[in-house]
Amino acid sequence: MAGEGPSRSARVLLLLAVALIGLNLRPFITGIGPLVADIGAQTGLDLKGISLLTLVPMALMGVVAFAGPLLQSGVGARRSVIASLIVLAAGSLLRLFATTGWHMVGTAALLGLGVAIIQAVFPGIVKKQFPNHVGVVMGLYSATLVGGGALGAQAAPLIASATGDWHLGLAWMSIPAVLALLLAAHTLPRDRAARQGGISAWTMLARPRLWLLMVCFGLVNGGYSTVVAWLAPFYREHGWSAAASGSLLAVMALFQGLAALLLPMLARGKDLRPWLWLTLAMQAVGFVALAFRPEAAPFASAMLLGSGLGGCFALSMIVVLDHLPDPAEAGALSALMQGGGFLITAFPPWIVAALHDATGSFVAGWLMHLVAVLVVAALYWRVSPASYARAMSAPMIGDEPRRHAPARSL
C-alpha cells in the first residue's frame, strides 16, 4: 500500500495490522509469571533464573533497538517486521519442546529478538502512514501491546490447567503471531529506497536530550518488567492460586491497555507533561500499596498501577516522536530511545529477585520502583514542547560549552 492516498479499506486493514502486531509483543513475557512454579519445578530454574526470561528479551530489545535506523534504511521496515513475526511464531512453538532452563532462556532470547526488531521500526511506520493521527495510532499500538500482556497472563495458566501442560500454556502464542504475519504481509507498505541526509544516529546519540528520554523510558518500563515478572509470584506467596494471580496480572495489563489507548486521546495540546505526571502518580500509589498494604485492595492497586504504566508508555512514545517532524528521523530517535531504555528495563527483575533472596520479600523491590518513579517525575520537568527543536539542535556531548547555551537544552 502506498504511503500517499491509500483507500479507506486499506487504511482500516493497516490499523488492524497495527493492533494485531502490537498484541504479539508481550504475551510471551507475561505468561511466565503465573506458571513460575511449574516452569521452575521441571527446568530447575530458581527465582534469579526465572528472571532471565524477562531480562534476556528486554536486554535484546535494548541492544537491537540501536540498529533501528540501519534496519529501516538497509533492510526496510516491512521486511524487518515480516521476518520478526516469523521469529515470534517459531520461538513460541519451540517452547513446546523446552525441558531445561537453558531451553527456556534460548526461546526467550529468540522471542526478544523478534520483538526488538518490530519495536525498533514500527513507530516510524506509524508516523509515516498516519502523520495527522500519530497520537491516536500510537495509543492503539501501545494499548494492544500491553493488552497482549493481559491476554498472555490470563490465557497461559488457563490453557496450562486445561491441558495439564505448561508448555501448551506458552506455545499457543504462535497462533496470533502467524495471523499477524499474514495480515502484515498483505497490508504493510512496500519498502522504498532510503532517503539520504537528515540527522544521523550518531548525531542523535550525541544529544543530551536523547539520554534523558532513555533514562525516563527505562526507569518506567523497569517497573513494568518487574511487575509482569513478580506480581503473580508475589501473590502466590500470599496464598493465591496460579489462576487467581494470573487474573490479577491480567487485570493490571488490561488497565494498561485501556490507559494506553485512552490517555493519548484525552491529552490535549502539545505539552503532555501534566498527563505524564498523572500516570507517574498512579504508579507511585500502586507501588506504595504493594509494599505496605498488598491484601487491602489488590485489584484496585493493580488497576491503578496498570493505568499508570500503560499511560506513561504510550505518552512517552508520542513525546519522542514529537521531537522531530520527519518520520524517518523521528522513528530513528524512537528506536534509539528504546535501545537505551530497554537496556535499563532489563535489569530490575533480576535486581528484585536478588533483593528477595536477601530480604525474604518483594517489599524492597516495590520501594525501589517508587524511588524510580519520583526520579522520572523530576526529569520530565525538562521535557517541554518549547525545548524540542532546541534540544535536537543543541551542542553535542563533548563539544566546548557555548555562551548562551544553557543546561536547559536537555
Which residue, 289, 102, 76, is CA-closest to 192? 76
Instruction: Give 367 or 332, the one with higher predicted confidence.
Output: 367
Judge whether residue 396 has pLDDT over 60: no
Q: Write down the pLDDT at residue 378.
A: 97
Judge whether residue 336 has pLDDT over 90: no
- Summarize the chain as % helix, strand, coil (round to 5): 80, 0, 20
| Average pLDDT over every residue of 119-143 | 84
pLDDT-based confidence at residue 3 (cuts at 50, 70, 90): very low
Q: Write down the pLDDT at residue 125.
A: 84
Backbone phi, psi, residue 273, to 5°: -60, -40
Say which range, 76-90, 101-115, 133-147, 310-324, has the weakest mean pLDDT. Answer: 133-147
Q: Write down the pLDDT at residue 202.
A: 75
Q: Write down the pLDDT at residue 316.
A: 93
CB 150 within 8 A of CB 253: yes
CB 78 within 8 A of CB 189: yes
Tell me: the pLDDT tens digits for 34-51?
888 899 999 999 888 888
Q: Write down the pLDDT at residue 185.
A: 92
**Residue 404 to residues 211, 364, 394, 408, Cα–Cα distance (Å):** 22, 44, 11, 10
CB 191 within 8 A of CB 78: yes
| Average pLDDT over every residue of 156-166 | 93
Q: Write down the pLDDT at residue 107.
A: 95
* 3 state DSSP class of 383: coil
CB 145 within 8 A of CB 137: no
Instruction: Give 2 or 24, the one with higher predicted confidence.
Output: 24
d(CA 261, CA 135): 9
Judge whether residue 290 has pLDDT over 70: yes
Instruction: Give 9 or 215, the one with higher predicted confidence.
Output: 215
CB 62 within 8 A of CB 120: no
Q: Write down the pLDDT at residue 198.
A: 53
Using alpha carbons only, what angle is made at residue 265 by residues 72 and 210, rounded to the nearest 5 degrees? 40
Q: Write down the pLDDT at residue 1.
A: 40
Judge whether residue 11 has pLDDT over 60: yes
- List all residues 6 or more positions away from 406 whose beta carbon is below 8 Å from its beta carbon: none
CB 340 within 8 A of CB 67: no
Label residues 188-211 b or e (16+ Cβ within 10 Å = b). bbeeeeeeeeebebeebbbbbbbb
Q: Write down the pLDDT at residue 398.
A: 52
Label residues 279-293 b or e (16+ Cβ within 10 Å = b). bbebbbbbbebbbee
pLDDT-based confidence at residue 54 (cuts at 50, 70, 90): confident
pLDDT-based confidence at residue 4 (cuts at 50, 70, 90): very low
CB 257 within 8 A of CB 150: yes
Q: Write down the pLDDT at residue 404.
A: 39
Count Cα atoms within 13 angstroms, Cβ side, for 54.
31
Instruction: Give 275 or 346, the one with higher predicted confidence.
Output: 275
d(CA 355, CA 352): 5
| Average pLDDT over every residue of 345-364 | 92
pLDDT-based confidence at residue 209 (cuts at 50, 70, 90): very high
Judge whether residue 394 has pLDDT over 50: yes
Q: Write down the pLDDT at residue 195.
A: 54
Judge whether residue 383 has pLDDT over 90: yes
CB 387 within 8 A of CB 217: no
Say which range, 107-116, 242-251, 288-297, 310-319, has the weakest mean pLDDT. Answer: 242-251
Q: Write down the pLDDT at residue 408.
A: 39
Instruction: Give 332 or 14, the one with higher predicted confidence.
Output: 14
H/E stretch holding 385: none
| Average pLDDT over every residue of 89-115 | 94
| Helix orientation angle between 208-237 and 273-292, rounded to the nearest 10 degrees | 30
Q: Write down the pLDDT at residue 145.
A: 87
Tell me: the pLDDT tens digits for 238-280?
888 878 888 898 888 889 888 988 898 888 778 999 999 999 9
- List all residues 6 or more positions away from 217 whose beta carbon is below 8 Å from its beta carbon: 316, 320, 337, 338, 340, 341, 344, 345
